[in-house]
A and B are shown apart, each in its own frame.
Chain A
Amino acid sequence: MALILDLVSGDIALFHVFTWLDIGSVHQDLKELLKDESENIRYSFPQLLIAFIKEQTSSIVKLHNIHPYELHTVASPKRENLLPTVNNLSLSSPSPNFKNNGSCQETRKIRKITPQRLDLSSDSAFPSLQQSAQTREIPKKRRINPTQLIESPVTTRVPLQFGSCSRPSPPALGHNAFNQAQEQSCHKSLDQERALLKEKKHQITIPTISDLGSTAPKNWMCVEPDISFVTKLSQLDRLSALCSFCLSRNLVPSLFSEIQFLIQLLVLRVSPAKLKQTHLVQSLLDSVHNCVYFSAKTLEHLEGIWCHVDQSVLQQLMHNPRLLLFCPEWTNDKLPKLISSITNVDRIPPHKTVANVAFQTETDNRFNFASDSSFQVFRKQRDQFCEAWQIWKVNSSIPGWNMSIALQKMIQSLVDLRRDCVNYAHLARLFRSQLLNVAQLVKPINELEEPDGPLGQLQSSDPDKLRRLRDRLTNPPESRPARCVGTENDIKMHFEGDQEFFRDFILLAASPAFNEHLKNSLVSGIEDLSSSEDCDDRAQFAETVIALQVMAKFLGFLHFYPHASADHLPEHIFHHLSRLRISQREPIDLVSYIKDAFYKGRLVLVIPWVVTYLTLADPVSLCLPGFHSVLCHLIFVYRKAELAPANAFLIRILLGWLFSQSNFPLPLLAKPDDDLLIEFGNLSLATTDDQLPRLDQSRLVDSSLIHQCCPFLWSWKHLLAEFACSDAKNSGEKASVSRKITPVSAEENPSPVKAPAVKSLQKSLEENFFHNQPSSVKRTVEFVAERLASNVVRDVRHQIIPRLVLHAQATLKTWPSTAKDPVESLCLQLCADVRNEAASAATSAIASIESTLTALLPNDLLPPVRRVCVSIASKLTQGKVLDWIQLHVTKSLFKNDLEVELAKLDKSCARRVPGSPTASDKPQVVHDPTTQAPSFLIDRLKTLIRQVIRDASKVSEQDLIDLLSNCEGTLHRRVDVTPIVSKCLQQLTFDLLFIVCVFQPESIGSQTIIAWVAFWCKTYPSVDGVETEEPVQPPGALISTCVWQVLTPKQLLLLAQSTSPRESWNHVTTLLLQLMKSGLVRYKDVQEQAIAVVRQEWPQELLGRFATCVRDIVDWHRNQKSEPNLSTSESCDDDGLLSWLSWFCAQDDL
């Protein structure tokens, strides 16, 4: 402390101090001051400086007035993911940091998180707004709580921990600003509090000042800083210079907290009354004037920082009355310029309109599952998962809705619907995709800050209301829906908005198998994105960063959740737990990621997710030896990494945030660079041949991404805004004290060193070839080969294999039944065929490589180089196709298909509807929309038949002829005729013709009958040998099921109703004869039908006609037989049976 005091009040050129801090060389003037401890002090100097400043300000800061309203208020927007809120901390117990300096084991306290999800548009989310208007005058019990008044600045001010912990000289401990504060508060106790209370009471009655810009200090009852009252100007200037140097050189551990502290000093409010009562310890910063001066000067010098923060923060700075007073040049000139120079390009990925996870054939179709049942089950799982998500979306904001009641059963059953690794893996992937989808859908955080938004308007019209609103959000009243799973005492890691669904899904599913797969999926997702090449586009980069953060967050959740505890762990338990976990492995090797990123210039991509992951760590984890290395690496990165300004700001603010977590092992921060360097290992590893683009120097980051990754930054704005808005001196609540959960780490995995494989000369030639070409050449060649091979494989899968299998199935029918194992040999044959065809498909695909590569490769490549590229790409393509064939084209690929087909054949040689045209049988038809639709035709036929039977309405011969041509048109010139429909039309047309023959023999001639039979013959060709092989029928003795039933009982019954039986029978006989002539009905069928008829009783007249008909058939048949060239298998049939039947039926006395 004395050192700094000496420095500040002495006259050593600060330049020398800066050099010393920068490179360690000690100037003559400094030597005296530093004595022999130059190196020891060098790394802790910045922390000493901060501690010094805090000590100097302590006495005045503790007089800072906190508006009673503010006790529970958090000055920060709600939709932030990482923002700590005061209600997460225990107000009543002082932060352990202040009790146990330096002992990090005692400094942890897990936050209890109340999930919050804000929907401003929903009335139900703020049910008590009107109430609050009514009860405005009635002070709520939490408004006045005098004891807390004293304590709250203590408990909520974290930055001090750096100073207090790393201070090397023991006597300084006693002077710790906050110890002092506590002591004093004890001494002064009641009197002081009463005075405060009086004052508060007075303030509450002061009306709200809604004019933001107004600097009406008179009403505010606080000391207004005045530049003319500032004392010790030169010392303050020196201190400010030292401080801003340390800040801008990243020498302080947490940039975020220190700036936060400076802003707190800027908005310091102390009431004159209190000032009078208090005896202030003499110090550099013992007055509001000095504090504000110091703060303003220091802030002004941090130009490198302000250009990265959000415009709205700058606006607040610009309009801050105290800055206007103390740094008029900055606020009037430089800041406006800076603001106008920041082009406000919205780079947060535009709202995606697609909210579902798209089905991708490559990853989701049947080929990605081991079995049909697995595929079918996952179809259900996918739909149920989406359903659960939708139900949550709709209901989660409804008061009283409870996710565990509503969804637990559904979630549990869907997750474990099929205990199979394939299904778990697919589900995990779906979960991850949906999560990322939602993460990208989340509205940008600063949306709430927009002046036009509802909150923005409120901010200007009624800031007090806004504050109360926020208050309500952070302190949800009892009526808020208890959407979170489990009881209040459960530990909830902090998730916001839609992410809650995913957290609770994991908790409710309670499936270890699923968790494991999800971990794997997240780890591989992080791996993929971390090595993503598509980062050149700024929007794409922002999307990647956010996706990585979300995945890391959930990975952290899965990994650290089992170790979380709501209780403060006593030391012995803590030690016990850390012993148990001493060799625990992390799911992801952070050290190698950090190291890699450092050397490959990709820190800006990797650090954000690493920090997100670590902030979820539990208290024990951070103290595990495995984490030591990770943290040292991060500190090294914080100090040494060189990035483009905005990138550097992003990762430093994030790292600083991590370092300021209460559980962070502080001694690490004072380690000299050299120690850290040892941790970093051999730098020589750096030169790896890598194609990934370096990002750290690219201009990829802007303020909106910074604020999206570091939502806690908004607290700066809110400190300023509340100062500007408040009715009295509020601004209290140094918001956003970061008390997050602490990091963990596993054993450092030694990066696997691959044994150098023996490479062929050709291989190394190729390697060298690509090495000396632009990296895009190799990427292009590999890409083209990959895509071509994938196309060939697709072709093999979807075209060649199905075609060959179909063919094989067909040959199975003709396969001699004596063959021993038809399936086995066919499979072998198929494999060979597929391989051959695939090989030729690959060859033809390769033909296109030359033109493709010519179009894609750089234009200035020498022709020979291009030729080499073509040959490499061809080789690669062929190799990939061959690999696939080796792996997939095996006997088992076909076995199932063929066995199923064989089983079908065994069961029934053919149940195929005779003559029904199937898609494959039919030649290509050009659809003729002028023909009648099949459904219309069916309807028409049906109606006609009904009318003829029931209403005896007339059908003309012309009608029948028209119908015939209509049927022809429909059946032959349309593509929308299904087999069932075709069959139905067959039946109906036959029925109609038969019925017309029976009921209206006068409207039909034999020509018409002949024409119809010809049509049927053409449309429904009889498949020989099919009907004879009918499967065994159940009792009822159906012999033939063909449509053409002329002499069955039903038809005879119809004939019996004919009014002119002779004509009817003549037509029917003609019909039957025609059918037989055309081969649609066989002689054998008639025999069977006739036998069935005579089993029943019939009127004699009918039997007589039946006999005549049968005799005609027999006669025709005899004539057929006598013609030798027409001999068929039937010709040997015996006519005797039918002749006898005919004779028998003709007997009168029957």
Chain B
Amino acid sequence: MARVLNQTTYNSLLDSLCKLPFRNRVQSLQKLFPELSVDTLKCIVAQECQKRMKGSHGRLTTSETVEAMYKKFTNSILMNEEPGILLRLSDEVGLTPALLARSIIERHYQRDDKSKPAKLLVSTLMKNTALIDDRDLAFETYLCLLEDDEYGPIAEATKQSRGYEYEIYLRMELENCKVAFLHEDHLRMKGYDKTPDIKLEIPVAVDGQVINWIESKALFGDEEVHRGYLKDQLYSYWNRFGPGLVIYWFGYVEDLEKIHQNRIILIRDALPRNMVLMDQHL
């Protein structure tokens, strides 16, 4: 199953994605692009959703719109509508279910002066909906969290876990390959200002290129994502440790390497099998 896409495929994938309704988009895409790995598709869908939310979240959660949505919600409760009220509202306004639920909770727990409640309270309630005093809101919120793969405590935990799982996986693979390295925790302890996931204490070569560090990313590397990482992390590593490697475990768009210009940072979707280690024979 392919995880590395060329720009054309990726563009047509994004095109189809835009035309699909919000639910079950992965399954629909699977039919359109059977040759692509499901994980890659999931990742692309999730990233598209996050991009969309980044663009519209602020606009959709002004106090007026939230007030209107809250009214609608309380009305629906009064009308004894079927459970799934927030889910339907979510489809209607275009906020993801978890984000919508959060806004409604914030409104529900608003302070006397109409200001938002403490963030800690809201996130505690989101994590454990059983603590919400309003039984309907609690249940509706819970349904929303179950539906949302991008936002909400469960989705966040999944994402975080996935990142960490791949990091640990990478460490183990490297250990298997007998590569000597320091990982993030070591580096932080030693007072490094920038800490790649893996800093190779003895460099290795991949496809004829020496690398000094490896960064693991459990997501799909499109240009926007990659540029963001270059700016915040990868170039900083390059500045300090020289050429390195970034692994997008869920694939990437081809030819991203060309935006690095003369700074060599390899991109792969797995730990290369053909690493050349330094000769340590006498």
Chain A residues close to B by CB (< 8 Å): 353-359, 361, 364-367, 375-376, 378-379, 382-383, 386-387, 390, 393-394, 798, 802, 927, 929, 933-935, 938-939, 942, 945-946, 949-950, 975-978, 980-981, 983-984, 987-988, 991, 1033-1038, 1041, 1043, 1045, 1048-1054, 1092, 1096
For A394, give its contact among B109, B154, B159, B261 (CB under 8 Å).
B261
Dominant secondary structure of chain B at its interface with chain A? helix
> Is the pair A1041, B128 in contact by a Cβ cutoff of 8 Å?
yes
> Is the pair A1050, B165 in contact by a Cβ cutoff of 8 Å?
no
Within 8 Å CB of A383, what residues of B?
A: 235-236, 239
Complex CA gap A927/B127 in Å reads: 28
Within 8 Å CB of B202, what residues of A?
A: none
Within 8 Å CB of B193, what residues of A?
A: 359, 364-366, 375-376, 378-379, 382
> Is the pair A981, B121 in contact by a Cβ cutoff of 8 Å?
no
> Is the pair B240, A358 in contact by a Cβ cutoff of 8 Å?
yes
B134 at the interface (CB under 8 A from A): yes
Task: List 14 additional A-B contacts (Cβ < 8 Å) besides A984-B157, A1038-B121.
Answer: A353-B210, A359-B241, A361-B191, A366-B191, A976-B167, A980-B156, A981-B160, A988-B154, A1033-B121, A1049-B132, A1051-B130, A1052-B135, A1053-B139, A1092-B133
The residue in A356, A358, A939, A1045 that gathers the most chain B C-beta atoms within 10 A of its C-beta is A356
**Which of B15-23, B140-148, B267-275 binds A?**
B140-148
Complex CA gap A1054/B132 in Å reads: 14
> Is the pair B133, A1037 in contact by a Cβ cutoff of 8 Å?
yes
For A356, give its contact among B147, B156, B239 (CB under 8 Å).
B239
Known: A358-B241, A390-B263. A1096 touches B235 (CB 8 A): no
> Is the pair B165, A976 in contact by a Cβ cutoff of 8 Å?
yes
Known: A802-B189, A976-B161, A1035-B111. A356 touches B241 (CB 8 A): yes
Within 8 Å CB of B133, what residues of A?
A: 1036-1037, 1049, 1092
The smallest C-beta distance from A952 to any residue of chain B, in angstroms, reads 13
B136 at the interface (CB under 8 A from A): yes
B8 at the interface (CB under 8 A from A): no
Complex CA gap A1052/B164 in Å reads: 37
For A976, give its contact among B117, B157, B164 (CB under 8 Å).
B164
Within 8 Å CB of A1096, what residues of B?
A: 135
Dominant secondary structure of chain A at its interface with chain B? helix
Within 8 Å CB of A1049, what residues of B?
A: 132-135, 138
Least CB separation from B105: chain A residue: A1036
Within 8 Å CB of A357, what residues of B?
A: 239-240
The smallest C-beta distance from B190 to any residue of chain A, in angstroms, reads 5
Complex CA gap A361/B188 in Å reads: 11
B233-252: which have CB < 8 Å to A? 235-236, 238-242
Known: A933-B161, A938-B158, A981-B161. A945 touches B121 (CB 8 A): no
The residue in B138, B191, B192, B239 that gathers the most chain A C-beta atoms within 10 A of its C-beta is B239
Known: A386-B235, A390-B263, A1051-B130. A798 touches B242 (CB 8 A): no
Least CB separation from B108: chain A residue: A1036
Known: A390-B261, A1050-B138. A1036 touches B162 (CB 8 A): no
> Is the pair A935, B190 in contact by a Cβ cutoff of 8 Å?
no
Complex CA gap A859/B234 in Å reads: 49
Within 8 Å CB of A1037, what residues of B?
A: 133
Within 8 Å CB of B130, what residues of A?
A: 1045, 1048, 1050-1051
Within 8 Å CB of B131, what residues of A?
A: 1038, 1041, 1045, 1048
Within 8 Å CB of A1043, what residues of B?
A: 128
Least CB separation from B137: chain A residue: A1050
Interface size on B, residues (CB 8 A): 56
Within 8 Å CB of B165, what residues of A?
A: 933-935, 976
> Is the pair B136, A1053 in contact by a Cβ cutoff of 8 Å?
yes
Known: A1034-B111, A1036-B121, A1038-B131. A798 touches B190 (CB 8 A): yes
Complex CA gap A949/B111 in Å reads: 33
Chain B residues close to A by CB (< 8 Å): 109, 111-112, 117-118, 121, 124-125, 127-136, 138-139, 142-143, 146-147, 153-154, 156-162, 164-165, 167-169, 172, 189-194, 210, 235-236, 238-242, 261-263
Within 8 Å CB of A927, what residues of B?
A: 168, 172
For B157, give its contact among A356, A981, A1038 (CB under 8 Å).
A981
Within 8 Å CB of B168, what residues of A?
A: 927, 975-976
Closest 10 CB pairs of A and B: A365-B191, A1050-B138, A359-B240, A366-B191, A1049-B135, A1045-B130, A984-B157, A976-B168, A386-B239, A1053-B135
> Please, could you name 11 A-B residue pairs with CB atoms under 8 Å apart, sorted by A?
A361-B192, A365-B193, A933-B161, A933-B162, A935-B165, A946-B146, A949-B143, A977-B161, A984-B158, A1036-B117, A1053-B135
Within 8 Å CB of A375, what residues of B?
A: 193
Complex CA gap A357/B128 in Å reads: 49
Complex CA gap A934/B164 in Å reads: 10
> Is the pair A356, B138 in contact by a Cβ cutoff of 8 Å?
no
Within 8 Å CB of B238, what residues of A?
A: 356, 386
Least CB separation from A1095: chain B residue: B133
Complex CA gap A145/B134 in Å reads: 97
Within 8 Å CB of B172, what residues of A?
A: 927, 929
Within 8 Å CB of B125, what residues of A?
A: 1038
Within 8 Å CB of B139, what residues of A?
A: 1050, 1053-1054
For B128, give its contact among A361, A939, A1045 (CB under 8 Å).
A1045
The residue in B128, B139, B153 that gathers the most chain A C-beta atoms within 10 A of its C-beta is B128
Within 8 Å CB of B124, what residues of A?
A: 1038, 1041
Within 8 Å CB of B263, what residues of A?
A: 390
> Is the pair B242, A356 in contact by a Cβ cutoff of 8 Å?
yes
Least CB separation from B141: chain A residue: A1050
The smallest C-beta distance from B237 to any residue of chain A, in angstroms, reads 9
Within 8 Å CB of B190, what residues of A?
A: 361, 365, 798
Within 8 Å CB of B169, what residues of A?
A: 976
For A382, give its contact among B129, B138, B210, B239 (CB under 8 Å).
B239
> Is the pair A987, B128 in contact by a Cβ cutoff of 8 Å?
yes
Within 8 Å CB of A376, what residues of B?
A: 193
For B154, give its contact among A984, A1036, A1038 (CB under 8 Å).
A984
Within 8 Å CB of B112, what residues of A?
A: 1035
Least CB separation from A1056: chain B residue: B135
> Is the pair B109, A354 in contact by a Cβ cutoff of 8 Å?
no
Within 8 Å CB of A361, what residues of B?
A: 190-192
Complex CA gap A84/B194 in Å reads: 44
Within 8 Å CB of A983, what residues of B?
A: 127, 157
Known: A356-B240, A976-B161. A984 touches B153 (CB 8 A): yes
The smallest C-beta distance from A1093 to any residue of chain B, in angstroms, reads 9
Complex CA gap A983/B134 in Å reads: 23
Within 8 Å CB of A365, what residues of B?
A: 190-193
The smallest C-beta distance from A366 to any residue of chain B, in angstroms, reads 4
> Is the pair A379, B194 in contact by a Cβ cutoff of 8 Å?
yes
The smallest C-beta distance from B143 to any residue of chain A, in angstroms, reads 7
> Is the pair B241, A980 in contact by a Cβ cutoff of 8 Å?
no
Within 8 Å CB of B210, what residues of A?
A: 353
> Is the pair A939, B158 in contact by a Cβ cutoff of 8 Å?
yes
> Is the pair B241, A394 in contact by a Cβ cutoff of 8 Å?
no
The smallest C-beta distance from B229 to any residue of chain A, in angstroms, reads 13
The smallest C-beta distance from A68 to any residue of chain B, in angstroms, reads 42
The smallest C-beta distance from B269 to any residue of chain A, in angstroms, reads 18
For A935, give its contact among B127, B161, B235 (CB under 8 Å).
B161
Least CB separation from A1093: chain B residue: B135
For B127, give its contact among A975, A987, A1050 (CB under 8 Å).
A987
Within 8 Å CB of B132, what residues of A?
A: 1049-1050
> Is the pair A1034, B161 in contact by a Cβ cutoff of 8 Å?
no
The smallest C-beta distance from B195 to any residue of chain A, in angstroms, reads 10
Complex CA gap A942/B145 in Å reads: 9
Complex CA gap A766/B186 in Å reads: 41
Within 8 Å CB of A988, what residues of B?
A: 154
The residue in B127, B159, B172, B240 that gathers the most chain A C-beta atoms within 10 A of its C-beta is B240
Complex CA gap A873/B225 in Å reads: 54
Within 8 Å CB of B156, what residues of A?
A: 980
Least CB separation from B203: chain A residue: A354
